Structures are given as structure tokens and as C-alpha cells.
Structure 1
Amino acid sequence: MKYFVAVLLLAAVVFADAEWKIQTAENLNAYRPECANSLSIPEDKVNEYKKWNFPNDEKTQCYIKCIFGKMGLFNEKDGFNVEHLVKQLGQGKNETIIRPEVVKCADKNPQKTNACQWAYRGFDCFKKAHLDLVQTSVKKN
């Protein structure tokens, strides 16, 4: 019985991951208004985000968490999905080079900060280390 349960759990993980797809600019453009509306973020601030200007404030942190959540890259319980991030940022590049950078930025929340701060901290790390990869990863495929 234990073996059967283990196989089912493994199949569920594999199937769930198989459903995830690399996110595109179209996905990001769909998520932006959803996240902005749910957080009451004004249009001028969203326009700044589109220019890759992300101030370290509570609304921006939660906006990043919302976007990453919708993209399947972050959730409040587990934090960052390293496999999805490697695929999203790598997109055909050598994943063995990208993985250590992703792992470094995708911390396990040692500061025990709230989910918005946690998501923002990881995003800020990705952005500082590899802004070009972050920007390219959501361009039209």
C-alpha cells in the first residue's frame, strides 16, 4: 500500500509539472492587470513596472508575488519553484550554469519574512544578477 501511495504521489508531481509551460509576454500582459486590480495598484505604478522599475515597497512586493504566483514560479507555502525558474530563465541555454544562480536567489526564507517580501527578495536577486535573462524569459516565443 505504501508503494502504491508513493507511486501516486510521484505521478501527481510529474503530471502537475508536465502541465506547466514557459510563460510568455502574453501571459505577463494578462497577469499584470489582474494583479494590479487585486492589489489596487495605480496605472502609473504599473507603467513603471513595465520599465523594470520596482521600488521596494509593500504593494510592489505583493505585485511581484502575485505575478510569480500566476506564472507558477512561486507559492506562499513552498516559495520558489526552482525547476520552473530554471526552465523559464534558461529556455534552451545551459541549465547547469543557470541552476546555481537560481538556487542562490530562490532562498528558503531564512528571515521568515512574509510571502510578499520573500518573493520580492528573490526577484530582486534574479534581476540584479541576470536582468537580461529575466527580461528575455518573458519575451514572445
Structure 2
Amino acid sequence: MLTVLLVISAIAACAKGAAKIPEDMKEMAQALRDNCIEETGVDPSLLGPCENGNFADDPKLKCYFKCVFGQMGAITEDDELDADAFESILPPELSVLGKSIMACKDTKGSDGCDMAMKFNQCIYGKDPANFLVI
């Protein structure tokens, strides 16, 4: 169950479209969010605007997204995305995100933090109505 939540986390926090975090996972999502905010030192006010495609060019925000991916085991030791892991553990409520995840699976960056940010931007670009931020 925690693994499923972590997939949700990597892609998202407040649902604005059809994709919604299952009710029974919201408490775990908040714990993940709190942990990655503490670990990276990101300003929490930078997370909300991402839901609308406004990704601040902030190193801590980039590393926040990497933290979320790391918590779910979706980043390899080489700081590459494991999109198959994402897709394979999506709960039915979030299956709509699978197409965007696979479309963005080859996203690259200068490091793991940059890749995580670019992956989120790609997901948003493919399906802004279902984009989530934890």
C-alpha cells in the first residue's frame, strides 16, 4: 500500500482533474510530503503552483520531486526514472496517469533532481487535467 501511495506522490498533492488520491492514502501522502519537505528544505509554497504548470526553477523543488521518487523506488542508482515501476503499481483510481507516465519515461536531466523536475513537467504537459502534486 505504501508503494502505491509513493507512485501517487511522485506525480502529485491536490487532484484537479479526474485522477484523485484514494481517501485511504491521503494520510500517508501527507507524511511523504512532510518527510520530503524536511529532507530537501523546499519552501512548501512552491508546490501548489506546480499543479497549474508553474514550476519554479528552484534546486530544492527539483530535489523535492527526486525525494518523492526515491521514497517509492522509482529512480535507479544512475538517477534514471523507472517508469515501468510507476505504471505497474498505479492503483485503479490513478490508471489514467499511466499513458502520461509512459510517454515521459525517457525524460533526462543533468542530475536526478533535474530529471525528476523535467519528468513532472512532461507529465503536466501531457495531461494537465490529471496532474497531481504531493
- Quickly name the TM-score band, shorter chain normalised: 0.5 to 0.7
Q: Which residue of 1 aligns with 2:92?
A: 91
* Match among 44, 47, 56 for residue 45 of structure 2: 47
Runs of 4+ displaced beyond 3 Å: 87-90, 92-95, 131-134
Task: State the distance in 2 between where 1:54 and 1:115 align.
Answer: 16
2:126 alignment counterpart = 129
Q: Using structure 1 for the length normalisation, give the TM-score.
A: 0.60
The code of the aligned residue for 2:101 comes to V
CA distance in 2, matches of 1:35, 1:98: 24
* Cα deviations by residue, 1:95-132 (Å, 9 ceiling, x for unpaired): 8x934x323312163x6x11100111111101221234
Higher RCO structure, 1 or 2 (CA under 8 Å, sep 6+): 2
- Change in 2 beyond 3 A, CA 1:46/1:76: farther
- Gapped runs of 5+ residues in structure 1? 1-18
Q: How many residues align?
A: 112
Q: In structure 2, how many angstroms separate the alpha carbons of the residues matched to 1:77 and 1:119?
A: 13
Whether the 8 Å CA contact 1:28–1:67 is kept in 2: the answer is: no
- 2:44 is matched by which residue type in structure 1? V
Q: Among all aligned residue pairs of Structure 1 and Structure 2, give the percentage whose two residues are the same amino acid.
A: 21
The answer (yes or no) to whether the contact 2:36–2:68 under 8 Å persists in 1 is yes
Shift of 1:68: 1.7
Q: Which has the higher helix share?
A: 1
Q: Where does the alignment leave 5 or more consecutive residues of structure 2 unmatched?
A: 6-24
Query: Residue type matched to 1:22 in 2?
Result: V
Alignment check: 8 A CA contact 2:74 2:81 kept: yes
